[in-house]
Structure 1
Amino acid sequence: MAAPTDTAATEVQNTTGITPDTLAETLRTSDTLKASHVDIQDISGGCGQSFAAMIVSDAFQGKSALQRHRLVNGILKDEIKAIHAWTPRCLTGEQWEKEQAKSQ
């Protein structure tokens, strides 16, 4: 649940220790995921309650979007319980390379 004030939100972040860096590290070091790229953005205005993520892993190969999200959510089960919103975008290495080529 979201904190009712910015002060309360800061308290939540301080007590949970959840930051973009800690989320990214958990995903990068997961033996199940073996992510090749992880970018986590705090989209909550700095209160640490809402995050968006770009996660690239060949473990997503052949999986639906729902299966990919479930894989990531399982790895971040405890962290997700402590935050307000989590929006992952999960791509395979091939999909990521195609996106990068389009943006150049």
Structure 2
Amino acid sequence: MTADDIKQCIADHLACEHLVVDGDGHHWYALIVSPAFEGKRAIQRHQLVYGTVREHMDSEALHALSMKTFTPAEWVQAQQQNN
């Protein structure tokens, strides 16, 4: 799988306002901003994302995916803190 493949899987199943996927072909990192994360704890957010790529993880095409998840409001706040 490529970063674009993973990005497409996530975007096909989860409304994202911002989505970045990067990695080395074995270990992947995703930054995801979605209104679907509103009111959800981190584990619930990760479960939502893993649900979008599960078939690829089950087939071992995708070995490891770490992620940071934000609601749109959290993302705005994080951006303001970084400036």
Bigger Cα Rg = 1
CA RMSD of aligned residues (A): 1.1
* Structure 1: 4+ residue segments shifted above 4 A: none
Report the counterpart of residue 72 of structure 1 in structure 2.
49
Q: Secondary structure of the residue that 1:63 maps to in structure 2?
A: coil
TM-score (norm 2): 0.89
Shift of 1:95: 0.5
Larger strand proportion, structure 1 or 2?
Answer: 2
Matched residue, 1:24: 7
Deviation at 1:26, TM superposition (A): 1.7
Does the aligned pair in 2 maintain the 1:80–1:86 contact within 8 Å?
no
Aligned positions, number:
81
Partner-residue secondary structure (3-state), 2:73:
helix
- The one of 36, 51, 68 equivalent to 1:89 is 68
1:100 and 2:83 equivalent? no
TM-score, length of structure 1 as denominator length: 0.72
Superimposed CA distance per residue, residues 43-95 of structure 1 (whole angstroms, 9 cap, x where no aligned partner): x3xxx111011000010000010000001001110122322211011110001
What percent identity do the matched residue pairs reach? 31
Flag structure 1 segments of 5+ consecutive residues without an equivalent. Answer: 1-17
Structure with the larger RCO, 1 or 2 (CA within 8 Å, 6+ apart): 2
| Ranges in structure 2 where 5+ consecutive residues have no aligned partner | none
